[in-house]
Amino acid sequence: MDIKADQVLDCSGMVCPEPILKTNMTVKKMETGKILEMIGTDLGTVNDIVAWAKRTGNELLGTEDKDGKQHYFIKKTK
């Protein structure tokens, strides 16, 4: 995936709900239009991040598995 993130948040080793809580706090501090790459290892985060994006109105641009970790690319839309 060729998405350039403006900020990276490494949530490796964290379990639900911590990755979503940290993602939410980080995105709130970012400027609209910026992209966050959140890295996680908890497989439960896959469904959680989709639900969070729908609920908050932020855009999940895509996900990528790399080196045994999931990379989520989130664009702040408001």
Give the domain extent around 45: 7-75
Its pTM stands at 0.93
Q: Which residues contact 44 (CB under 8 A, 6 or more apart)?
A: 15, 16
Mean pLDDT, range 36-54, rounded to an integer = 94
Number of domains in the chain: 1
Q: What type of residue is 39?
A: I
Element (H, E) at 75: strand 69-75
Over residues 1-20, the pLDDT tens digits come to 688 999 999 999 999 899 99
58 domain-assigned: yes
Mean pLDDT, range 37-54, rounded to an integer = 94
Distance between CA atoms of residues 68 and 40, nearest Å: 9
Which residues are marked as active site? 16
16 domain-assigned: yes
Over residues 19-35, the pLDDT tens digits come to 999 999 999 999 999 99
At 49, which CATH number?
Answer: 3.30.110.40
**For position 16, what pLDDT does the model report?**
87
